[in-house]
Structure formats: structure tokens, C-alpha cells
Amino acid sequence: MRILATMLVISLVIGCDSRATGPVPIGTDDACASCRMLISERRYAAEMLDSNGTIYKFDDVACMMRFARAHGKNSSSARFYVTDYATGRDWMDARQASFAKLRNSSSSPMASGLAAFHNANEAARSMGAGPSRLLSFSDLWTESTGKENAMSTASHVDRVSEGSDGH
């Protein structure tokens, strides 16, 4: 009987662990962990889940990258999620996403012009005339390390015109 009671207590303790294991919904009063602006455009939203289970919410992918770098987070110490630009609601692992650098960068909350898609073909198709360039999460990570304004000033080859899938 003691064993059963002990197992029940252990189950309750484990079951009550409220740490997040994936992205959580964006609320109307949620602010960006980096710039503190309200997250008003869900299609640009991003989240980072650290190894302690803490969720950080962002209004723009660039804010997430800047915050991660400033706080010493990387893909081994955190998980990164982005919203599918096409639907404005579906979360996906940022490492699996394709990012379009939009021609009109001022349309995104922090003017990074970055929009996430499930794949490069979807990004090109959804953007009509096509994004100015496609990037992978690895590309974004490389751009965001060591350069303060890498998101807006780095130059890349237009991979859409070359037919690359961005990965």
C-alpha cells in the first residue's frame, strides 16, 4: 500500500510540472521579451523555450535572434519557434522553417522584413513576385552573431532566382 501511495504522490508531482514543452498561444497583452512592444501581428511572432522551460515571446524573428544572442542561448540550450506567415497561427520549429526576407521590410513589426514559412516553395508562392531572398534558421543565426544590425544590412545572393529551396 505504501508503494502505491508513493507512486501516486510521484505521479502528481510530475504531472504538476507546469514548465512549457513547446510554443504557447500569444495573448492580446503579451509583449516582446526583447523590445517590449505588444505582439500585435501574430504572423511575425516567435518564441524561445529555454532549458528551464521558460517561454520568451517575440514580435519579430529578429528580436528573438537578438535576445538569444544577448542571453547566451543557442540551439543546444533553447528551442526556437516561429509562426507560419501564410496562416498567421501555425507554430513550427524555426530550424525547419524557410525565412523570406521581404522586399518591403517596414511591414514587419521591427522592420526586419523576416517572414517564416513551412518551406521555400511556399514562401515563393505566397509572396507573389517572390521574396528578395530566402534564408534558413542557420543563415539567420550566422547573420545575428557578431553583427549588431546583421538582419538588415547583410547581403546575400537572391536564392529564389537561383531556384534554391533556401536550405
> Each residue of 79-103: pLDDT tens digit?
999 999 988 889 999 999 999 887 6
The pLDDT, as a whole number, for residue 160 is 35
Asked if pLDDT for residue 34 goes beyond 80, the answer is: yes
Asked if pLDDT for residue 22 goes beyond 60, the answer is: yes
Between residues 149 and 48, which one has the greater pLDDT?
48
3-state secondary structure the chain: CHHHHHHHHHHHHHHCCCCCCCCCCCCCCCECCCCCCECCCHHHCEEEEECCCCEEEECCHHHHHHHHHHCCCCCCCEEEEEEECCCCCCEEEHHHCEEEECCCHHHCCCCCCEEEECCHHHHHHHCCCCCCEEEEHHHHHHHHCCCCCHHHHCCCCCHHHHCCCCC
The pLDDT, as a whole number, for residue 13 is 45
Asked if pLDDT for residue 50 goes beyond 80, the answer is: yes
**Section 139-167 average pLDDT:** 48
Contacts of 49 (CB under 8 A, 6+ apart): 20, 21, 22, 23, 55, 56, 78, 79, 80, 81
Residue % of the chain over a pLDDT of 90: 42
How would residue 49 be classed by pLDDT, with cut points 50, 70 and 90?
very high
Asked if pLDDT for residue 129 goes beyond 90, the answer is: no
The pLDDT, as a whole number, for residue 161 is 33
